[in-house]
């Protein structure tokens, strides 16, 4: 589903290669400043990688067709802080092809499950844990083949971290790539761990 072949971002990452196949949960592990967020931008087609080394379903991440198959959760700034989070989340789901009627129901269910009582309010009025929980909806609610998340457990309280682990266990045929700093609670549900700083992308 996702293929990374010799991605480099000197001096942080050199010659990173790995694949994420359907149904797999792969963690890309790296400390702060290891180039994970820059790599996230490359995966989202917002930054050019060296030598077109990243492909999603055989397509460049900048291709709209590739982005239709992939959903993203960035480390921060997933929503405009001045407007309703629910409204922005709803628009994103509509962009993935959801219907207006089903989207409203999905967001209500999501808010209930993740205990986001103020999801209708502007992003800046939500606490960090609720905002992160709402951001995870951008990645996990759309019906995509691949989910890419940058520090998904960041800012989550223990209860919501458990909900995230449960959601990742129930991923079905979806491929998931999570970019995380150690130590991470996601390690217990991961199929593979790739080290961002390692030469050539060491795996365990």
Partner 1 sequence: MRSSGRLWLGESVDLVFDIRRVSLYLIVPPVLAFIVYFEAYLSGVGATRIMSLGQRVMLALWNSTILLSLIAGLQGGAFFSRVFGSAWFRNRLALPSARLHAFCWFLTSYGALVTIFYLLTAFAILVAMPRPSDFATLPALVNCYTPLLWSVAASALFGLLARPGAASFLFLATVTMGSVTGLPQVAGKLPDWIASVLRVIFPRLGDSFLGSMGVESYGYFSLAVPLHALVLLLVGAWVFLRLARGRR
Residues that bind partner 1 (CB under 8 A): 41, 44-50, 62, 64, 67-68, 72, 74, 76-81, 83, 87-88, 91-92, 94-98
Smallest distance from partner 1 to CB 204, Å: 29
Comparing CB distances to partner 1, the nearer of 64 and 188 is 64
Instruction: Provide the token pair at 203.
Output: 């795996």
Smallest distance from partner 1 to CB 39, Å: 12
- From residue 44, give the alpha-carbon distance in Å to each of 60, 87, 133, 171, 198: 9, 22, 20, 21, 22
Comparing CB distances to partner 1, the nearer of 12 and 68 is 68
Comparing CB distances to partner 1, the nearer of 68 and 113 is 68
Smallest distance from partner 1 to CB 203, Å: 26
CB-CB contact of 7 with 16 (8 Å): yes
Cα gap 102→36, rounded to integer Å:
34
Cα gap 62→12, rounded to integer Å:
23
């Amino acid at each position: 589903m996702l293929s990374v072949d010799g991605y480099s971002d000197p001096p942080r990452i050199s010659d990173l290669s790995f694949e994420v196949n359907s149904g797999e949960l792969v963690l890309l592990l790296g400390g702060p400043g290891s180039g994970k967020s820059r790599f996230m931008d490359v995966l989202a087609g917002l930054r050019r990688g060296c030598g077109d080394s990243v492909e999603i379903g055989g397509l460049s991440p900048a291709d709209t067709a590739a982005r239709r198959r992939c959903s993203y959760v960035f480390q921060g700034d997933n929503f405009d802080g001045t407007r309703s989070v629910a409204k922005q989340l709803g628009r994103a789901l509509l962009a993935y092809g959801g219907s207006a009627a089903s989207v409203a129901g999905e967001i209500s269910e999501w808010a209930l499950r993740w205990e986001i009582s103020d999801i209708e309010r502007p992003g800046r009025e939500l606490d960090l844990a609720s905002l992160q929980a709402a951001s995870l909806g951008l990645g996990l609610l759309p019906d995509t083949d691949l989910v890419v998340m940058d520090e998904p457990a960041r800012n989550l309280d223990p209860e919501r971290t458990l909900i995230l682990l449960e959601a990742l266990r129930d991923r079905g045929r979806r491929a998931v790539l999570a970019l995380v700093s150690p130590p991470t609670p996601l390690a217990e549900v991961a199929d593979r761990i790739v080290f961002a700083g390692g030469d050539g992308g060491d795996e365990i």
